[in-house]
Amino acid sequence: MVIRLKNAHVMDGEKCLIQDLEIPCMEPRSHCGGSVSVLELQNCFLLPGLVDVHVHLREPGFFYKETIFTGTRAAARGGYSDVCAMPNLNPVPDCPAHLAPELEAIKRDAVVRVHPYGALTVGEQGEVLADLAGLAPHVVAFSDDGRGVQSESMMRQAMLEAKRLGKVVAAHCEDNRLLRGGYIHDGVYARRHGHRGICSESEWGPVARDLRLVRETGCAYHVCHVSAKETVALIRQAKAEGLNVTCETGPHYLLKNDEMLQEDGRFKMNPPIRGEEDRQALLEGLLDGTVDMIATDHAPHSAEEKGRGLEKSLMGVVGLETAFPVLYTGLVKTGILPLETLVQRMSVAPRARFGLPQGADYSIWDLDASYSIDPAEFQTMGRATPFAGETVFGRCKATIVGGVLAWLEQGTKFGCNPGSGEIGGRMV
């Protein structure tokens, strides 16, 4: 198949060139046959494949929430060529034997590249160090995401071993002592509606502790899902000191504040959406480079688990299929952020930090396409998004991963599986 772009806007994270292009690619799944076809795309933007360093694919262990196939299909629809999968699974990948089922599922079902995290501690319990040396050749980094490492001595031990192995520690920073039963930000909405709030110190306190340990150990350190203005300030200072520190934030933290919350589980995630001052600090950090990258923290749950209201729903929202459109609409079209910077934060920077391979990876976008976000159209099994019903610009027309067509918009079929005529036996 050839994808032909007339007057293509080619973006590499630094500049944009306008030119005609022809991109040869294999049929979906490398074993597929069929005649050569040409897809004409006028005035589309050719971006590098996007990279999400923080997703929850739920397999193995939680198949009713998501699978490797559904999660990576959602990633492809969102323009992603690479995703990094967090280890809060069953079994927790805390040793090579426990990682094996996840690797098998990735090899069997993934339609984009999946780079698994290894757990920092056994069972993500924070008590005994995981087999980091055994995991290191097979994982992108180490994390106990979903649970903060409460013990300073355990985090020091983990950092020293990760340093020895040349791996990044990606930290879920949360002090359990400060949660006090909270489930949304301790701010305007919580006080107005009688909800229990989560204070910002529960995030920035562990970050401050970990930065002390980074100074001591020299570990490569990455802060997951930054939400608080104090955290941004701490990371900015750490970078000024020359520490090997990076961080990510999510689309919902950049575009929402706690006054926009609704009594709906689709607005509940961990950490929570915080106040307007926090949002502005994150935007400032994104612009000045303090915030290195944007990751979705894609965390699907069942409809029942997210249908219990703001207080009782499980924490986590989906984001792979909406991230680029909502950010392009909310930040680029409004003049807050250049498109080049958005591409850098969503592709170039995460690939560089985590040492991810760069192949023939492209996402092709019609940035003039306007539509309403409809969770019923999602490829992910999760439906909970705070952006449901919002009008956005930017539709991913195709995603190519290593020269293989992973997504083609408009439901195009290819003769891949005998008798099905569909990609992997399913409609794209």
Catalytic amino acids?
A: 297
Instruction: Give CA–CA dist 328/65, Å, rounded.
Output: 28
- Strand partners for 63: none
Asked if 222 and 353 count as a contact pair (C-beta separation under 8 A), the reply is: yes
Q: Are strands 362-372 and 293-294 parallel, antiparallel or unpaired?
A: unpaired
Angle subtended by helix axes 276-288 and 229-240, to nearest 10: 30
Note the helical H segments in 123-242: 132-135, 152-165, 188-193, 201-217, 229-240
Q: Which two tokens stand for residue 234?
A: 């701490």
CA 307 to chain centre: 23
- Of 266, 273, 214, give the one whose Cα is nearest residue 242: 214
263-276 in b/e form (b: 16+ CB < 10 A) is eebbbbbbbbbbbe
Q: What is the CA radius of gyration of the chain?
A: 21
